[in-house]
Amino acid sequence: MIDTTLDDGFHNVLGIVRHLGQSLLRPAGLEADRSGDPIPVDHPVFATFNQMGFTLGGMGMGKNASGANGEPSRANRTAILAAEELAYWDQGATMSLPGPGLGAPPIRLLGTDDQKQRFLIDPFKDPTKPAWGAYATTEAAAGSDVARIRTTATQDGDDYIINGNKMFITNGARASWVVVFATVDPTLGRAGQRPFVIEKGTPGFTVGRIEKKMGLTASETATLFFEDCRVPAANMLGTGKGKSGFKAAMATFDITRPMVAAMGVGIGRCAWDRAAEIAGAAFSGTPHELKLLDRLADARRRLDAARLLCWHAAWKMDCRMDNTIDASMSKVYAPAAALYATQVAMDVAGLAGVRNDGLIEKCFRDVKVFDIFEGTGEVQRIVLARRLFGYPRDRPPAAVATA
C-alpha cells in the first residue's frame, strides 16, 4: 500500500529546500531570465550551494538505493519532493546548480568503483570549486529516436576515437565531464550504443553555441563537437555488465522521468499560487470571475493528481519495484497539468499575467519544455501503449526512447 504521508524527515528536507529556493534560486533565476543569459559559472549562488555540499545528482536514487533496517529507501521520494519544491522557486536556476546532474544515473548504474570515484566523487569534493557533469544523447536527427545516434566510437588499441555532434546539452559547456552516447557499430542500432565519460580538455572535444531559449533561461544548453576525440577505454561505462548503452539510457528514465514530472508540478504550482493570490485580492464574485475560479480549481485538481503519480512512481522505485509504467504515466500527465495551470493562471491574472515582470508568464515559458525532454508526451504514450497493451503488435518496436 502506497504511503503518502510526509514524516518529519521529509518535512525537514522540504523546509531546507524551500529556504534555499526562496532566498537564492528565485532571485538568481529572475536575474538570468531578465538578462537572457544562463547564470555565469562564477555567480555567488553556486559557491554558496557548493559550500553547503548540495549537489544535484548527488542523492543516491535508483533501484539500488536501500533504506535503513531493511525499510524501503527514501532516496527517490526525497528527490521527488526536492525536485518539485526547487522548481517552484526556479527550475532554470536549479538545473544550473553544480553537481553531476543527469550524468550521475548512468555512472551509478554502470560505473566501476574506480569510475564512480573518478567522476562522481573527485571532481565534486572541493567546497570552493563548483563543478558540473552533463549527459549527452541528443543529436540533430536523434531526439526521441535515440536509436538513430550517429556519433561514432571506433576502437583503436586501448582507446576509442569519438566523432560526432551533440545538441541541447544541459550544462554541457561548463561540465568537467560529459556522459556521451556513441555507437560502436551503426548497423547494430540500439545494441551498438555505448556511454563514454569524456572529460573537459580532451583534445577534439569543443563547445559550440549556447542556445537562446524561450524558458529556463538560467540553465545553459550547449552544442558539443567531438572530432577525432581520443578517449581511453577505461572511460567507457558498462563494460562487462552485459548492458548496452541503450539499456542504460532507458533504465535512467525510470528514475528521472518522475523527477522531471515533479519539476513541472512545481512550476505549475508556482503559477497557481500567484493566480490564487491575485484572485483573492481582486475578484468580487462576478459570474465571469466564478468561471475563472472554477478553472483554477480544476487546475489544482490536476496538479494534485500529477503529484500523486510522481510520488507513486518514486515510491515504487524506493521499494525496488518495476516502475516504468508509473514513471511514464507521471511524465505524460504532469507536464500537461502544469501547462494547463500556467494557462489558467494567465487568464485569472489578465493583463498582469502577460507582463514580463510577473512570475506567471515566466512559469508559462519555463513549463513547456517539460513535455519535451526526458521523453516527449507522445513518446510516453508509446511506452504506455506497449507496456499496457503490447502495441504495436503488427510491426517491430519503434525506435523511440521507450523502455
Ligand X SMILES: Cc1cc2nc3c(=O)[nH]c(=O)nc-3n(C[C@H](O)[C@H](O)[C@H](O)COP(=O)(O)OP(=O)(O)OC[C@H]3O[C@@H](n4cnc5c(N)ncnc54)[C@H](O)[C@@H]3O)c2cc1C
Provide the b/e sequence for 11-26 (b: ≥16 CB within 10 Å).
Answer: eebbeebeebbeebbb
DSSP 118: I
Interacting residues of 116 by C-beta distance below 8 A, sequence separation 6+: 107, 108
Which is it for the CA torsion 21, 25, 27, 29, positive or negative?
Answer: negative
Among 94, 183, 193, 221, binds ligand X (CB under 6 A): 221
- Smallest distance, Å, CB 147 to ligand X? 11
What does the DSSP assignment read for 152-220?
Answer: EEEEETTEEEEEEEEEEEETTTT-SEEEEEEES-GGGGGGGEEEEEEETT-TTEEEEEEPP-SS-TTS-
| 170: contact with ligand X by CB under 6 A | yes
Among 124, 373, 383, 386, binds ligand X (CB under 6 A): 373
- Smallest distance, Å, CB 338 to ligand X? 15
Among 24, 82, 102, 218, binds ligand X (CB under 6 A): 102
| 398: contact with ligand X by CB under 6 A | yes
| 50: contact with ligand X by CB under 6 A | no
| 83: contact with ligand X by CB under 6 A | no
Among 40, 350, 378, 391, binds ligand X (CB under 6 A): 378
Which of residues 175 and 348 has its CB atom nearest to ligand X in the complex? 175
Residue whose Cβ sits closest to ligand X = 143
Burial class (CB in 10 A: 0-12, 13-18, 19+), 249: buried
| Nearest Cα residue to 14 out of 92, 96, 86 | 86
- Smallest distance, Å, CB 372 to ligand X? 5
Looking only at the bridges linking them, the beta strands covering 152-156 and 133-136 are unpaired
| 207: contact with ligand X by CB under 6 A | no
User: Rg (Cα) of the chain, in Å, rounded?
Assistant: 21
User: Chain-centre distance of CA 65, in angstroms?
Assistant: 19
- Residues 249 and 98: their CA atoms lie apart, in Å, by 22
DSSP 132: B
Among 49, 168, 333, 340, binds ligand X (CB under 6 A): 168
Site string for ligand X, 133-162 (x = CB under 6 A): --xxxx----xxx-----------------
Tell me how many degrees the CA angle 56-57-58 measures, rounded to the nearest 5.
Answer: 90
Which of residues 216 and 303 has its CB atom nearest to ligand X in the complex? 216
Verify whether residue 289 is a known catalytic residue: no
Interface stretch with ligand X, choices 66-74, 119-127, 238-246, 377-385 (CB under 6 A): 377-385
Exactly one of 85, 220, 361, 374 is catalytic; name it: 374
- Smallest distance, Å, CB 149 to ligand X? 10
Interface stretch with ligand X, choices 113-121, 198-206, 315-323, 378-386 (CB under 6 A): 378-386
- Judged by the rule CB under 6 A, the positions of this chain that interact with ligand X are 102, 135-138, 143-145, 168-170, 213, 216, 221, 369, 372-373, 376, 378-379, 382, 398, 400
